[in-house]
Amino acid sequence: MSAAKYVIVLLTVFSVGGCSGVGRLTQTGHEPPSAGEPAPDFALSDSNGEHVALSDLFQSGVAYVLRNGRLVHEPRKAKHVLLMLGSMRCRYTLDEILEMDRLARTLDGRRLAVLAVLRGKQEEISEWAREKGLAVRLLVDPDGQVLRLYCVNKTPDVYLINADGLVAYRSGGGFLAANQLEPLARGLLAGSGIEGTAFPKPGAG
């Protein structure tokens, strides 16, 4: 392959502020969820091998927790969700997770779950999570099934989902800094929604 062809490939995969065409994830005839629509449910293992289902986060009720060797029950409230979909092959995805981690440490984790769905190998993702000591929960999507479900064209793709399981915001792909995401997340937590908030443009900031 000539040098000129190499340049074309790199420009296709690494566009400004994100990675395009990673794994050709889009499903023909299938559209990503828009604001006001239900977020597609999925279940994956996290970097520690624990099962996580998106729909479980939207359910109120009673949670059974082991405390001091005793099983006790506590009220559980539905959570809002900050969700990022990306790939270990995309450096913008890894940068986005670090930004989300900064945000997660400043917000109420009892009311906001911060999740990152990553296409990659379990061992690779687990090792990276341990190395960084993240507050973000990393979910392993080895074959890109969830990324295809959400029609991801460009990574990272960021969603805010309210406690009713409805999409409140979608970035459409591209890197967003913590200070761009924070007003949206705080709007949901305050119960004021994100209407009237200036939506950040990925890659700017």
> How many domains does the chain contain in total?
1
Residues 131-140: tens digit of each pLDDT: 999 999 999 9
Of 10, 33, 31, 6, nearest to 22 by C-alpha is 10
205 occurs within a structural domain: no
197 occurs within a structural domain: no
181 occurs within a structural domain: yes
> Torsion angle of alpha carbons 158, 162, 163, 165, nearest 10°?
-70
9 occurs within a structural domain: no
Range with lowest mean pLDDT among 46-60, 127-141, 191-205: 191-205
* Residue type (1 letter), 145: Q
Mean residue pLDDT across the chain: 81
Angle at 11 between CA 6 and CA 13, to 5 degrees: 95
Residues 9-19: tens digit of each pLDDT: 333 233 347 89
At 130, which CATH number? Answer: 3.40.30.10
Of 142, 140, 176, 144, nearest to 157 by C-alpha is 176
Question: How many angstroms separate the CA atoms of 10 and 86, rounded?
Answer: 18
What is the extent of the structural domain holding 182? 17-189
